[in-house]
Amino acid sequence: MARHYSIVCGMQIARLDLKASLYLAAVLVQLGVLLGSLIYSAAQKHLPLRREVDKDMLAYEIATAWTVFCVMFLVCDGLFLEKRLAIYMFAGSSILMGAYLLYDYFEGTGGVTQRLFRLILGCLAQPLNVVGGLVVAANMQWLEFHIVGGDEVQLRAYRLLLDFDCWIKVDFLVAVSLVILAAFPGLLSDLQIGLCVAGLIISLLWLIVAFVFTRFESRVWGYIFFLWVPIEPMFVVYKFVDFARDDTHSDLTFYPILILGVAAILIRILVIVYAILIWRRFGSGLRSALTAYRHEADKAPLVTNQAQQTTPNYTTFNAPAAAPQTEANAALLTAPAVEDRWGSLSYSTNDKPLVYDDDDDED
């Protein structure tokens, strides 16, 4: 996809070509318009602040806006770091978002014009998001080969690492959505809200631990990483039991919490599976490749098609030196060729044709 690369914060990112740049611009514009529409609709219903605020609706709208922001982040992360899975996630989430906008048009609250506008925008964007995403993802190969080369073992390990990064970031984003949906409507006590905030901080630190564990192949940090794994699933199960005992919750937030809670547990299982697969590939040479390319990226840039045409590869290589000719080799090269009876050419070093013994043929 990209022909050139830059080093940003110690990481190599792709400089997008025209096709990927247009795709990114179109996606950011449509998501920005959708996000602005959601914020404007929420402001009309809840401002000025002296009005009585519907906490369930406010939590739902904030969680929806947060989801749109997360989708924008996934697209940028997938394009600049060439993560195919992130682009596939965006294509799938785009389909789910279209289904949500259809449901919001018939069952949602607020102005009909705004809901219709969001629905039309979502429907028009579906072909671009899905087909364009698949096309852009199919061209993602330059960065991984630039970092790890053509070694198949390292390529598989690097792709596992990219998929792991995607899933663990989605895991954190889902955790934030759960806290928003549970905290804003007043479903949590002050102590539980404090525990949720502390849990988000721990989850953020968990991302840093995961980065050190996988990028530097540290088994010590790996043990710390696995010790933190059950914290979020335990809290989700606790809230499910709590909701089952309480009949005062609103369906507007209960069902999203239920869906996100199940998704959070499934995503955490995927994170564990990917972490184990990465652990088993420690020592494949990926760590050295990830640290070495940062020092060599500016020294060995990729050759573009234009540079290839103006300076072909064959002009940069010297032909191997000719082997020294011995006297016998020189005589053989200058010997006259004679055609034998089978039409083949034979060579003689004494200017005499080669003689074949007919008796040998009879044997």
- Omega of the bond prior to 127 within 30 degrees of 0, cis? no
Same-domain status, 133 and 211: no
Which pLDDT tens digit goes with each residue over 240-263?
777 767 666 666 677 788 888 889
- Res 92: pLDDT: 87
Contacts of 131 (CB under 8 A, 6+ apart): none
Same domain for 157 and 119? no
CA 65 vs. chain centroid, Å, equals 22
Would 302 be classed as within a structural domain?
no
213 three-state secondary structure? helix
In a shared domain, residues 170 and 126: no
What's the rounded Cα separation, in Å, for the pair 122 and 134? Answer: 18
The backbone torsions φ and ψ at residue 250, rounded to the nearest 5 degrees and listed phi first, read -95, 140
Cα angle value 127/132/136 (rounded, 5°): 165
User: Is the domain of 271 the same as that of 178?
Assistant: yes
Q: Which residue has the higher pLDDT, 61 or 314?
A: 61
Q: Is there a domain that residue 100 lies in?
A: yes
Residues 226 and 270 in one domain: yes
- Whether residues 62 and 19 share a domain: the answer is yes
Where in the sequence is the domain holding 203, given as residue range(s)?
A: 148-295
Q: Domain for residue 8, yes or no?
A: yes
Residue 14: enclosing H or E segment and its boundaries? strand 11-15
Give the residue with greater pLDDT, 227 vs 195: 227
Asked if residue 114 and residue 12 are part of one domain, the reply reads yes
Percentage, residues of the chain above pLDDT 90:
19
Identify whether the C-beta of residue 118 lies closer than 8 Å to the C-beta of residue 37.
Answer: yes
Query: Does 329 reside within a domain?
Result: no
Block residue for tokens 């993560």: 83
Q: What is the pTM for the complete model shown?
A: 0.72
Whether 342 maps to a domain, the answer reads no
Same domain, 123 and 253: no
User: Considering 244, 279, 295, which residue would you say is the last residue of a domain?
Assistant: 295
Confidence band of 3 (pLDDT split at 50, 70, 90): very low
Mean pLDDT of 33-50: 76
Q: Does any domain span residue 300? A: no
Q: Is residue 343 part of a domain?
A: no
- Strand 4-8 to strand 337-339: parallel, antiparallel, or no bridges (unpaired)? unpaired
Span 190-223, pLDDT tens digits: 776 777 778 788 888 889 999 999 988 889 999 9
pLDDT tens, residue by residue, 282-311: 988 787 777 765 555 444 444 444 444 444
16 DSSP 8-state letter: P
Residue pair 12/294 in contact (Cβ under 8 Å)? The answer is yes
The residue among 113, 140, 167 that closes a domain is 140
| 3-state percent breakdown (helix, strand, coil) of the chain, nearest 5 | 70, 5, 25
Same domain, 107 and 164: no
Give the per-residue pLDDT at 49.
57
Residue 218 CB burial class (10 angstroms; 0-12, 13-18, ≥19): middle
Q: Are residues 91 and 199 in the same domain?
A: no
Same structural domain, 197 and 129? no
Total structural domains within the chain: 2
Residues 166 and 286 in one domain: yes
337-339 and 345-347 beta bridge pairing:
antiparallel
Categorize the per-residue pLDDT at 22 as very low, low, confident or very high, splitting at 50, 70 and 90.
very high
Q: How far apart are CA 221 and CA 206, in angstroms?
A: 10
Q: Classify residue 356 by its DSSP letter.
A: -
Residue where one domain finishes, among candidates 115, 140, 165 = 140
pLDDT of 51 reads 56
Considering the domain boundaries, does residue 252 fall inside one?
yes
Q: Assign 3-class secondary structure to 27-66.
A: HHHHHHHHHHHHHHHHHHHHCCCCCCCCHHHHHHHHHHHH
Q: Looking up tokens 């040479």, which residue turns up?
A: 285
Cβ atoms of 1 and 14 within 8 Å: the answer is yes
Contact 265, 174 (CB under 8 A): no
